[in-house]
Chains A and B, each alone.
Chain A
Amino acid sequence: MDGLIKMGEIKDYPSFLAGLIIVLAVVLTAMLAPLISPYDPIEQNMPHALQPPSAYHLLGTDPYGRDVLSRIIWGARVSLYVGLLSATIAMIVGVPFGALAGQLGGIADALLSRVIDIMLSFPGIILAIVVMSILGQSVDNTVLAISLAMIPRFARLARGEALQLSVQEYVQAAKASGAGNLDILVHHILPNILSPILVQYSLSIGSAIMIEAGLSFIGLGVQPPTPSWGEMLSLGRQYLYTAPWLSLFPGLAIMLTVLAFNLLGDGLRDMLDPRLKRV
């Protein structure tokens, strides 16, 4: 894949660069959580409950006296784990199915398209709720539920791209040389749909983080006391007027991270699309 992105070009895409920096910062935060978090995120400390931001607790404490900053730092782990893993699973499952359907056309395509349509007509979060209530609550089930909800996005995108590619002359040339469908999929279709898929992947991580927060917010996602941004928001809701820092900071964390992945995705789109390349 050399030639896809040139390092020297990155500076021409400031939004991509901004997204990249924030994403890296979040990743580092999650990785270094045990080292940089000032307090234990789970241990309760009732005497210090509901303290506003101060020099000791930069972002304040929650009703159980836990440090909000520490919980946000640890919560990044959950968010990234769920976001990355579910987007990856959705991509790995959705893309080959969609690409093959688009490439083959006919009944296979019609069938898959209908399935995708049905799945897409379901709001992703509702689908996730259904899955969670069947499978039970755990981080891994959250991942499963979210990836299931996001598979059709990847499948539909891959299908559309593959459909366009399948009539390209270089695909016809391979066909004329006797190449089979799988050969064409691996050698021509997949490499050529990589760029839009990558963009979608980045955007999907952002929305997976959103869905996870939403699920945790309504109490279906990650279970307390494991720190998660959605669960923190949910807790903060009851103290919205008395302790606004409880909702404000996890909310900001979600917003910033999702924004970063979206910037990254949009930036990738601009960089990878030769039509948008500046001469």
Chain B
Amino acid sequence: MGTESRATYTGNDSLLRIEDLKMYFKEGKKYLKAVDGVTLEIEDGESLCLVGESGCGKSTLLKCVAGILKPTSGKIIFQGQDLTKLKGRKLLKARRKIQLIFQNPYASLDPRMKIIDIVAEPLRIQGVPKDERRKIAVETLREVGLPPGVENKYPHQLSGGMRQRVAIARALSVKPKLVLADEPTSALDVSVQAGILNLMKRLQRDYGLTYLFVTHDMGVVRYICERVAVMYLGKIAEVASKKQLFNSPLHPYTQALLNSVPIPDPSKRKRRPPLKGELPDPLNPPSGCRFHTRCPYATEKCGKEEPQLLPKNGRLVACHLVNQD
């Protein structure tokens, strides 16, 4: 199958299929619709980036898949099983194949636990005997490039980059299929970030991992992902292959996002007019297309009718303008 058809591909070998997922939070008398009807498919072995600005729902979506949040409605079908319907042992078994890496390696490791116990924790929860899980933990620590002796240290004795490697080792220890990463490098310095991104790329190749990668950094997207889903205020605006997205973004929001990113090359300096306006209040999202209040091409229809996520030139776009021609 060519890259052109990938964005819309709905074959049976999708590893994860999110169907009409909704996650609402009650705030006073209103509902914050953090994720509002998202449908997304991830193939076995690919890496998909979820991008968008703060409050777009990308991290919430990830937490629903990780099982930290219980979605309001919708399905999360992983290897043919709907995770929202599984319970007890079966859920635990399915969960083993999905692991999560957090944004802040300073907060995601228990300060009172030794590194080896942190890495072995998912194995302990899965009921692996102590000797075996310690052996696996040590092997995994070597695999992510941490030196011997790190096992018996505590998180505060390690640098940010090393801690994130520990978090990756923890996720890797149970041999997952799907790794969810929530801005795993945004708390790190660039020189350290490069090492982590390279490691994640190598691990994906070596272990055949599938990544669902949440980030706001378009540079990271371009480096690590094959396919990109752009979110805005709880909805998906565009799903496209990396090539399509960076060469010819279709949704006006995707265009604005790419246009806003500063390029580390002074010869490409451009004084582009930045996108106008603020992100709307997510408690009172705009009617119709949620982007219409900031969109330079918005028409009357955009304020009234909500655009559907429809296939267009081998990708999915939710925009009246793009979909009508």
* Contacts from A to B (Cβ < 8 Å): 3, 168-170, 172-179, 183, 187-188, 191-192, 194, 274
Q: Does B110 sit within 8 A of A, measured CB to CB?
A: yes
Q: Does B126 sit within 8 A of A, measured CB to CB?
A: yes
Residues of A within 8 A of B67 (CB): 175-176, 178
Whole-angstrom CA separation of A187 from B118 in the bound complex: 10
Asked if A173 and B102 make an inter-chain contact with CB atoms under 8 angstroms apart, the answer reads: yes
Residues of B within 8 A of A176 (CB): 66-68, 95, 98-100
Asked if B121 and A172 make an inter-chain contact with CB atoms under 8 angstroms apart, the answer reads: no
Asked if A3 and B68 make an inter-chain contact with CB atoms under 8 angstroms apart, the answer reads: no
17 residue pairs of the A-B complex, CB under 8 angstroms, read A3-B154, A169-B102, A169-B107, A169-B108, A170-B108, A170-B110, A170-B118, A172-B66, A176-B67, A177-B121, A177-B125, A177-B174, A178-B125, A187-B113, A187-B121, A191-B112, A192-B112
Q: Does B92 sit within 8 A of A, measured CB to CB?
A: yes
Residues of A within 8 A of B174 (CB): 177
Asked if A177 and B108 make an inter-chain contact with CB atoms under 8 angstroms apart, the answer reads: no
Whole-angstrom CA separation of A172 from B64 in the bound complex: 12
Whole-angstrom CA separation of A174 from B156 in the bound complex: 19
- The majority secondary structure among interface residues of chain A is helix
* Contacts from B to A (Cβ < 8 Å): 63, 66-68, 91-92, 95-96, 98-100, 102-104, 107-113, 118, 121-122, 125-126, 154, 156, 167, 170, 174
Asked if B122 and A168 make an inter-chain contact with CB atoms under 8 angstroms apart, the answer reads: no
Whole-angstrom CA separation of A202 from B156 in the bound complex: 27
Chain A residue at minimum C-beta to C-beta distance from B173: A177
Chain A residue at minimum C-beta to C-beta distance from B157: A3
Asked if A170 and B96 make an inter-chain contact with CB atoms under 8 angstroms apart, the answer reads: no
The contact of B68 among A170, A175, A192, A274, by CB within 8 Å, is A175
Asked if A173 and B108 make an inter-chain contact with CB atoms under 8 angstroms apart, the answer reads: yes
Asked if B111 and A192 make an inter-chain contact with CB atoms under 8 angstroms apart, the answer reads: yes
Closest 5 A/B residue pairs (Cβ): A169-B108, A177-B122, A170-B110, A178-B92, A176-B66
Residues of B within 8 A of A175 (CB): 67-68
Asked if A174 and B104 make an inter-chain contact with CB atoms under 8 angstroms apart, the answer reads: no
Whole-angstrom CA separation of A194 from B112 in the bound complex: 10
New A-B pairs, 20, CB < 8 Å, besides A169-B103, A170-B110: A3-B154, A169-B104, A170-B109, A170-B118, A172-B63, A172-B68, A173-B170, A176-B99, A177-B95, A177-B99, A177-B126, A177-B174, A178-B92, A178-B95, A178-B122, A179-B121, A187-B110, A191-B112, A194-B112, A274-B156
